[in-house]
Amino acid sequence: MSEKTVFLTYEGLKERERELEYLKTEKRKEISEKIKVALGFGDLSENAEYDEAKNEQAEVELKIVRLEKMLKNAKIIDNDDVSTDVVSMGIKVRILDIDMEEEETYSIVGSEEADPMENKISDESPMGKAILGAKVGDIVSVEAPNGAFEVKILEISK
């Protein structure tokens, strides 16, 4: 079974590489020190500090494996290869919510980089799926969990 391709922007790739480096170097050392200190408390059967440190160690190791797998399967969205003719991954799109009469600008990114608070939406989200391939001037129906609504593509940029 092949691994799922993970789409990342160049910035997203660098963020994950920095996080992986931090976990492998600083965080592992920090947890190792916590375990050493906890071992000094004696009896491991009732040592909450030791149990907590070992649990934290397991979580960090799982995160390291997950990040390594993600980076191994990453496909970088090259800004130079992105066209502004249609909505695609790696671009910014300004839309108008027709019902609410509100404009919003989104960056279309892979699911690993999605952050609605920063207006980074995934190509797999209801909005992302609906507007992919649309052109400036197109009106698109978005099937959202709260019901369908229409948006108009106002601008596509890098």
pLDDT tens, position by position, 28-80: 999 999 998 888 877 777 778 888 999 999 999 999 999 999 999 998 988 77
Domain for residue 108, yes or no? yes
Are residues 59 and 95 both part of a single domain?
Answer: no
Closest among 133, 130, 120, 129 to 151, alpha carbons compared: 130
pLDDT score, position 48: 84
Mean pLDDT for 109-134 is 94
User: Of 77, 100, 129, which residue sits at a domain end?
Assistant: 77
CATH of the domain at 33: 1.10.287.180
pLDDT at 1 exceeding the cut of 70: no
pLDDT tens, position by position, 14-42: 999 999 999 999 999 999 999 988 888 77
